[in-house]
Structures are given as structure tokens and as C-alpha cells.
Amino acid sequence: MRLLATSAAVLALLTPLASHALASIDDAKGDFLGTFAGSSASTDLDVLAASVFYNAGTDTFTLTATMDGNVGTTKSGLYVWGVNRGQGAAGFEKSLGLAGVRFDQVILLRPNGTGSLPGLPADKATLPVGAVVVSGKTITATVSGSLLPSTGFANKLDYTWNLWPRDTAFAGVAAISDFAPNNTNFTATPVPEPASAALLLGGLGLVAMYRRRQSNS
């Protein structure tokens, strides 16, 4: 009974975390846009999964993208994260008929491990060294929330996101290989507050302790 009660307490702690937006979105493999002028061999420009985590305690976003091939296979590859902070426009509605992809700022990530935020003052427009990490099929960026002030949304967890890789060997929309998600944005997942994370670990520790005691008896 005590184990049941403890498990229920742990579940109760987990539920609020799980009930928010999905931790990551999946995107189909091989779904290159018909308008993409690049090669279908550029599997590093085909998104398979994307996630955004937001830590309110440190005011930090972590953007992660997993591609079908090793990032950097396409030397002219570029990863564009669009974020809607409240006044995002449907920038691809006219050109591609995609009314659901909305953004008022982009974050550009390159396979060489650099990143930038066009439009910001020069001292803020380049992400610090180490902020962009490429590892196999994954490219991750850590971005301070101070670089992304709201344009309307009350909370940074209300911001919505989309990822579209480009092959910069081509111009305009012909450079875009994929959108993730296809024609909509998704929200960030909150990183647990330190207090709730400690409670959660404490709860799991109790369960482990109880199980050990059960198996010893």
C-alpha cells in the first residue's frame, strides 16, 4: 500500500510536466518540399525531430534538431529556427501557401557551429562560441531569452516555433528543404523548476528505497 501511495505521489508530480506541450515534434523522413531545388541526397536537411525547451529560472531556450543525415554533409546547409513572440507574420503564405508558419525573429544555425540572430544590434547578433553544438545528426543551440523579448505574448512559454533547413546554394524558397512542423508552429516545453525537480527526484528515491527494502525482506 505504501508503495502504491508513493508511486501515486510521483505520478502526480509527473503529470503536470507531461500535460504541457510535447517535448518534441516528429517530422516525416524524405518529405522534401516539391519547391526545393537542392538534392534529396542532402539528408542532413531533412528534419526528423525538433524540440524547444525553456528554462524560466535561467531564461534560456534550448533548440534541438535531429536530421536524417549527419549535419554538415551539405556544406551550404543552414538551419533556420523561426519564432513567433506575439506578432509573427505568415512569411511563407504568399510564396508557398503555408499560413501556419509564423515568425517575427529567426535564429540561424550553421553546420560549422556558429549561429546568429539577424536584425539584432551587432553586439548581440552573433551567438557566443559554444552556443551551437553539432553532434552527428543533431544540431543544438542554447539561446538566452534576453535576445528574444516578447512582441506580444505574456510568457516566453507562449512563443511558438518552426524549423526550416535551407541549402544556401539556392535562392529564395527554392533553398528550403523542409518545414517542421509542416504548416504550423509548436510551443516550448518548460524545464522543471529546481524545486519540483528536487521533489520528483526525492519521490523516485523513496520508491527505489522501498523497493530495495521489499526485495531484501
For residues 101 to 140, the per-residue mask of contacts with Ca ion, x marking binding by CB under 5 A and - elsewhere, is: ----------------------------------------
CB of 3 to Ca ion, least distance (A): 43
Nearer to Ca ion, 13 or 25 (CB): 25
**Alpha carbon separation from 105 to 65, 83, 118, 161, 189 (Å, rounded):** 18, 6, 8, 10, 19
> Which residue is it, cell 513567433?
84
Q: Is the peptide bond before 181 cis (omega within 30 degrees of 0)?
A: yes
23 vs 132: CA distance, rounded Å = 20
Q: Which residues are paired to 160 by β-bridges?
A: 84, 187
According to CB under 5 A, which one of 9, 14, 31, 78 is a site residue for Ca ion? 31
Nearer to Ca ion, 109 or 117 (CB): 109
Listed ranges 13-21, 105-113, 170-178, 193-201: which one lies at the site for Ca ion (CB under 5 A): 170-178
CB of 32 to Ca ion, least distance (A): 8
Tell me the residue type at 205.
Answer: G
Neighbouring C-beta atoms of residue 63, cutoff 10 Å: 23
- The yes or no reply on residue 167 touching Ca ion (CB under 5 A) is no
According to CB under 5 A, which one of 27, 44, 104, 167 is a site residue for Ca ion? 27
Contacts with Ca ion by CB under 5 A lie at 27, 31, 46-47, 178
